[in-house]
Structure 1
Amino acid sequence: MTALDNKINEHFAGFVVRKDLVKAVKGNAIVPTYVLEYLLGQYCATDDEASIATGIETVKDILRMHYVHRSESRLIQSTIREKGRYKVIDQVSVALNEKTDNYEAVFENLGIKKVAVDSGTVKAHPKLLVTGVWCIADVQYEFNEDARISPWILESIKPIQIAKVDYDQYRALRGEFTTDEWIDLLMQSIGFNPEAFGRRSKLLQLMRLIPFVERNYNIIELGPKGTGKSHIYSEFSPHGQLISGGEVTVPKLFVNNANGRIGLVGYWDVVAFDEFAGREKTANKALVDIMKNYMANKSFSRGITPMGAEASFAFVGNTDHNVPYMLKNTDLFEALPAQFHDSAFIDRLHAYLPGWEVDVIRSEMFTSGYGFIVDYLAEILRHLRSEDFSNRPDEFFSISPKVSTRDRDAIYKTMSGFLKLVFPAGDQTEAEVEELLRLAMESRKRVKDQLARIDSTYPEVDFYFVGSDGEKHAVTTVEEEEYPQFYYKGSRSEHDGEGDPSTAQGEKQRTSGEQTAPPSEGQHSVIGGVALEEGHHVYAENRKGVSYDKLFGPYISGAQRIVVTDPYIRFFYQIRNMMEFVEMVIRRKPPEDQVSIHLVTGPDDGNISRQRELLDSISTACTGTGVEFSWAFDESGTAHARDILIDTGWKIVLDRGLDIFQAPIKTDGFALGDRLQEHRMLKNFYVTYVREDQAAR
């Protein structure tokens, strides 16, 4: 176990489970994760390997004996008849038979209907009237010669959810973890290995949980297939309901006028719409109108009496095109059905989660560490829905007064959700609030910027906040930085033609919070027809389209000697980065020129012989190329800076050195991220370009 796993078990004993155990017990049982973890929590909520092994076998036995497979339904029916009574795990729904004035249950997998249910059971578990609920139930069989009376009787039923949690204890124990540890604990709780994600990617995963902690929160996530968009809503919580976008009707979602019964929004904390995108799909206009009213006012009306509800909406769907195509030709909502590609509907969305930043789910992304039992965490999040943390950012920041009330409410709801998830005890620092505030504002800005494209009556809004330093901090989206030539299409012409050293043509890409003064006399030069300028540039995590050639290429043109100082060229992937830098220099230089590259780095105390071997391999590979690569250890151990010195008079400072890329998807070398740097996601980093003579002063 990791140090974090030990800490989790020390403080949350009995409420956590090893997440890889779900696969070990699932077999061919088609049940949600929270059902399996409920059972694992009863028998495997420990770190003792012997107890875990015994518990796994117990859970397997329970599933084998009591989970109903559709293919074995007749066998289980026979077993109930022969024994008179039998316990089953199945999805159960209940309806009122108005002809007999009795409640009757339907067991989905068992295939039996008209199972008698007493009214007390229905009052205790009203969700049974709305949709199927996974339950552990005792079913009896008593034959009656009266054909009108069903032989099936529901003796007892227990929806699969934890009985009670101690929220005060949960909030107090949060203080035992650092912010990074707590975020990693939440990541492991939803089944992911935090080491496979960058900081921003972790927060985007946690953003999917905000509808569970915020009432009447509306979020949309559009992106490529296979990124796990619907998983959190179908598997994570017994308080969320995932429905297909094509199966939505007004009676099912809001209220049935025939009997006055409220729909899904009255019983579930989250209603998620799967496969919501699709231009060819159609939606009932009455449904769209009532949805818009509910999303704006938390109420709806079908008749005389208005009704209120607290359910949050999550819309997930696949995009047909990549981001630059959408920005150039349409907008980021292009995949929505025509009835929902409507400015009034879109404006009611509190946040747009950029699904294209979420990696396709692969095996190494799953965790074998410990996390909260899903049902325990689901109950905690449900408790948090009654609290409001939206005013906490005001302690440190004020949001632009130019944003509308709807924009402000959206930002605050997203912030409140993030703070409930990460800081339930309220001990956040200014820097931590700023990180979350930027993401909350960016998520709403993505909605508002696209609205300006869709409907010209929506004004463009300057999204920024003012900190305790009194400075104005601009907020941008990652795609705004990555594709400015398309993002500002048809507007903001004042941004055209400004310079940015990360592109060969010198096109401007604004960056979050970046303040770059115009170059003064002597702070620029021209090499190969490209103007090189001093400046400081910040690159957001998950951005693509950046390579060593774009960052460094123009500055190393004409160089004869380059010195790279990076104390962390130690592990294989870091040495591979160094090799790719050398390859860039080889491609850039004229064949007749000679260039020397010297690396100053630190020793890998764990495997220094392997490090030497790999660095020497780069030297050997350069033979006959016109590039001479040499390297040396900084024996003094004082070289902590990461920079590139070029004899053309430039110094390039990087906070991460050459380690600016996230690990590419491993597909035996056939992923574009393995082959082309422009297709790799970035880590968050900055680069500063300084004239060496200026740096000396």
Structure 2
Amino acid sequence: METFEQKALDVFSEIVINKSFVHKAGFGSRAIPTYVREWIISHYLDNSTELTEAARQKIAGFVQKYVPDKSQKETIKNQLFEQMEVQFLDNFSVYVNLEKGDRYLNIPFLDENTAFTVPQIVQDNEMLLSSGLWGVGKLYYVPKNDDNPRGQIWMREFRPFQLANMDLEYFRECRKSFSTQEWIDFLISSMGFNYKLYSERQKILLVCRLIPMVEPRYNLVELAPKGTGKSFVFENMSRYVAVRSGAISPAVLFFNDSRKTPGLITRYDSVVIDEAQKVKADTSGELTALLKSYLEAGRFARGSASSINAEAGLVMLANIDLDQNKRPLNEQVGLFRVFPNFLRETAFIDRFSGLLPGWDLPRIGKDTPSKTIGLKGDIFGEILHSLRSDISYRDYVKTNMELQNCDDMRDSKAVEAGATGLLKILFPDQDPSEEEFYLYCANPALELRQRVRDELCKLDREYIPVTFSSKIPDDFQQGHRLVSYADPDMMPSPPGAQSVSESISPQDEEEAEVLQYFGAIEAPTAEVEEETKVKENINELTAKTINIREGEKGYSYENLFGPYLKGAKKIYVVDPFIRLEYQIRNFLSFVEIINIESGNVDLILVTSAEDIYQEQDMTMKFKEIYHNLQKHNINFVYRFDPNIHDRSIKLDNGWTIYPGRGLDIFQKPESKYELSTVDQAKRKCRETQIIFQKS
């Protein structure tokens, strides 16, 4: 046991946990944040420091009972429809519509936002009205009648996951028990990372991701290749952080004028926009104007809301390409030139407090997860949230920090805010030495803002190049070189880029699970154009993993499987669920993409039936399919095997495909006259994972 671990156990006692338990407890692919997983684990540890088999069984029982898989959504809705009472864990929230004079419950798992909850639950759990609250809800369905013109789900009881009481003064006092290096290692472990894999500088960069959680209106940009775990901290550290990707509208971010409800900016400490390089602005330009107004003054006006103040910081995460030397591909011409036009405005970029160089962090690997003691996620999140309102740290920074060549108001404020945030995180007792203050607080904050300033100079001649420096400069300041405006038309062609979208081989299952846990295997978003999605994720014949999110569009059997079927003379499909009419039609849609130009193809299907009667019915249909496929040079053979479970498509050209749901990847169309009934790419998908492996 490391020194910091023993100290953490001694001073923090029951509010710490061995972070490796999260990977050992058997949550599978359940989409719940780490801090909720840790609460479930700690609830069943029985004051033990080890994850016993008995505790694992209890946790597995809880997950089985209260954490359903997304594929069970319609099953649960049917149970409600049949007047059964259901309970499950979800991130419930409540919004108030004053115009209609009612409160509505949002149930993400069921994609339901017009449910009802009894007033007492809202009074006892005020977090339902702001950032939402994870807990187990007991639900039932009230069918429509004369008094209730539409059916509605009601939540009768709610059991939130409980937080241990944390005295902030006690937390500050506990910091004194650690050396600075021990404390940093403890923080890195608490964030979920293995501290042994990171250099001292890289550890500080990881800690910088926490600044928007402790410092009001600290706006951060992180640019990095895929696979560095950019969004992991924000998605799993705190319930006060909202992460969104894809299309971002003014109604979602700021104020929904039709519902009269505030947006994410007013309800969370930090709002994170993931995959920022793919964000599309609204044609009216309203989003850009609101963002610039809010980032500058901390207030905005929209629709009937004349003036709203907020303290949330904005975090933008974006993927960039690296060259052969592991440096950003567009470093000379400007990192932001690859962004959408509205994100390239210098007036917008100037409002960001810091640019975090994520390219200096290593990729996620199987050794990345923490294996040591750290603060429980919910506790850590509460501590960071509580530290936001303490203004004494800003006074400390103003009194003790000396900077040179940092006279611009935005520059000085940004460095001041960053140093304040790092002081709260690293020295909550406000007792660093002068050297420690500059090394761990002032200098990292100065570097983050310097990088923003450099990018502005590359984009706009109006910005004068300058080198910031502190009283005790570090290597970055001493080695900094002035930059100048870079005309993109005059730049030479960049060297070959490193393939940062290279998928991870599924051969090492442990590593693949870790990569998905940290968000290193990234799924395409619903807002990406179908052409781009197919080009980036599908058409290259490489061993890879494709993760499809619930409700995502743009996928079809043709663009998923078609390239891999070329040249195959024998196709071996194992799928236990080719039974129902729509499943058989899915199978025929798959058969339709088989390439028969070069001659006959053998198609072998292994499936199963619920009983002998269903098998007889399926046999009649398969015989009819057999005769029809003979006309198209496809020799169809089928057999039933009651013991199969896993799905696979094996091809004699050397490729094997493991589709998690088999061919059943599409949601049911809302209408039989939708275009999606004839064009699969327009249909919404069900959440699944598809692995392509070369034999």
Common fold by TM > 0.5: yes
Letter matched to residue 457 of structure 1: E
Q: Is the 8 A contact 1:17 1:46 kept in 2?
A: no
Other-structure match for 2:263 = 263
Which range moved further: 333-342 or 188-197? 333-342
Pairs within 5 Å for 1:93-112: 93-95=93-95, 101-110=101-110
Q: 1:440 to 1:97 in 2, by over 3 A?
A: closer
Q: Is the 8 A contact 2:461 2:485 kept in 1?
A: no
Cα distance per residue 1:544-603 (max 9 Å; x no partner): xxxxxxxxxxxxxxxxxxxxxxxxxxxxxxxxxxxxxxxxxxxxxxxxxxxxxxxxxxxx
SS at match of 2:277: coil
Other-structure match for 2:71 = 71
Matched, 1:435 2:439: yes
| CA distance in structure 1 between the aligned counterparts of 2:143 and 2:436, rounded to whole angstroms | 65
Deviation at residue 81 of structure 1 after TM alignment? 7.6
Deviation at residue 432 of structure 1 after TM alignment? 0.7
Q: Is the 8 A contact 1:116 1:150 kept in 2?
A: no
Q: 1:161 to 1:273 in 2, by over 3 A?
A: farther
Pairs within 5 Å for 1:469-548: 473=473, 476=476, 488=483
1:459 to 448, 452, 464: 464
Q: Is the 8 A contact 1:9 1:46 kept in 2?
A: no
Which range moved further: 235-244 or 63-72? 63-72
Deviation at residue 409 of structure 1 after TM alignment? 0.6
Letter matched to residue 350 of structure 2: D
Matched, 1:338 2:338: no
Other-structure match for 1:348 = 351
Total equivalences in the alignment: 478
Other-structure match for 1:648 = none
Matched, 1:43 2:44: yes
Q: Is the 8 A contact 1:88 1:138 kept in 2?
A: yes
Which range moved further: 234-243 or 384-393? 384-393
Deviation at residue 444 of structure 1 after TM alignment? 0.6
Q: 1:127 to 1:283 in 2, by over 3 A?
A: farther
Other-structure match for 2:375 = 372
Letter matched to residue 30 of structure 1: A
SS at match of 1:381: helix
Q: 1:283 to 1:274 in 2, by over 3 A?
A: farther
| CA distance in structure 2 between the aligned counterparts of 1:285 and 1:151, rounded to whole angstroms | 37
Other-structure match for 1:251 = 251
Q: Is the 8 A contact 2:248 2:281 kept in 1?
A: no
Other-structure match for 2:366 = 363
Matched, 1:410 2:414: yes
Other-structure match for 2:656 = none
Other-structure match for 2:240 = 239
| CA distance in structure 1 between the aligned counterparts of 2:254 and 2:106, rounded to whole angstroms | 22
Which range moved further: 298-307 or 431-440? 298-307
Cα distance per residue 1:309-356 (max 9 Å; x no partner): 01111100011344464233x112223211111111111110110011
Q: Is the 8 A contact 2:300 2:309 kept in 1?
A: yes
Other-structure match for 1:7 = 7
SS at match of 1:12: helix
Q: Relative contact order, CA 8 A, sep 6+: which one is greater?
A: 2
SS at match of 2:238: coil
Deviation at residue 129 of structure 1 after TM alignment? 5.8
Other-structure match for 2:187 = 186
| CA distance in structure 1 between the aligned counterparts of 2:20 and 2:87, rounded to whole angstroms | 27
Other-structure match for 1:140 = 140
| CA distance in structure 2 between the aligned counterparts of 1:24 and 1:324, rounded to whole angstroms | 36
Q: Is the 8 A contact 1:102 1:117 kept in 2?
A: no
Q: Is the 8 A contact 1:271 1:312 kept in 2?
A: yes
Deviation at residue 379 of structure 1 after TM alignment? 0.3
| Gaps in structure 1 of 5+ consecutive residues | 468-472, 492-697
Q: Is the 8 A contact 1:94 1:104 kept in 2?
A: yes
Pairs within 5 Å for 1:625-636: none
| CA distance in structure 1 between the aligned counterparts of 2:437 and 2:275, rounded to whole angstroms | 33
| CA distance in structure 1 between the aligned counterparts of 2:127 and 2:272, rounded to whole angstroms | 16
SS at match of 2:341: coil
Deviation at residue 82 of structure 1 after TM alignment? 8.0
| CA distance in structure 1 between the aligned counterparts of 2:426 and 2:449, rounded to whole angstroms | 20
TM-score (norm. length: structure 1): 0.63
TM-score (norm. length: structure 2): 0.63
Deviation at residue 45 of structure 1 after TM alignment? 7.7
Other-structure match for 2:386 = 383
Pairs within 5 Å for 1:516-665: none
Other-structure match for 2:57 = 57
Deviation at residue 156 of structure 1 after TM alignment? 2.1
Letter matched to residue 17 of structure 2: V
Other-structure match for 2:211 = 210
Cα distance per residue 1:373-396 (max 9 Å; x no partner): 100010000000001313434555
Other-structure match for 2:176 = 175
SS at match of 2:461: coil
Letter matched to residue 33 of structure 1: T
Letter matched to residue 263 of structure 1: G
Letter matched to residue 453 of structure 2: K
Deviation at residue 282 of structure 1 after TM alignment? 7.0
Aligned-residue sequence identity (percent) comes to 28
Matched, 1:392 2:413: no
Cα distance per residue 1:233-292 (max 9 Å; x no partner): 112211100001x32111111112334321111111110000002498777521111111
Q: Is the 8 A contact 2:223 2:319 kept in 1?
A: yes
Q: 1:19 to 1:345 in 2, by over 3 A?
A: same
Other-structure match for 1:612 = none
| CA distance in structure 2 between the aligned counterparts of 1:455 and 1:288, rounded to whole angstroms | 19
Deviation at residue 191 of structure 1 after TM alignment? 0.9
Q: Is the 8 A contact 2:222 2:355 kept in 1?
A: yes
| CA distance in structure 2 between the aligned counterparts of 1:235 and 1:255, rounded to whole angstroms | 26
| CA distance in structure 2 between the aligned counterparts of 1:116 and 1:396, rounded to whole angstroms | 53
| CA distance in structure 2 between the aligned counterparts of 1:402 and 1:236, rounded to whole angstroms | 33
Q: 1:159 to 1:454 in 2, by over 3 A?
A: farther
Other-structure match for 2:508 = none
Matched, 1:226 2:227: yes
Other-structure match for 2:664 = none
| CA distance in structure 2 between the aligned counterparts of 1:254 and 1:198, rounded to whole angstroms | 39
Q: 1:448 to 1:112 in 2, by over 3 A?
A: closer
- Which has the greater radius of gyration? 1
Matched, 1:425 2:429: yes
SS at match of 1:363: coil
| CA distance in structure 2 between the aligned counterparts of 1:81 and 1:54, rounded to whole angstroms | 36
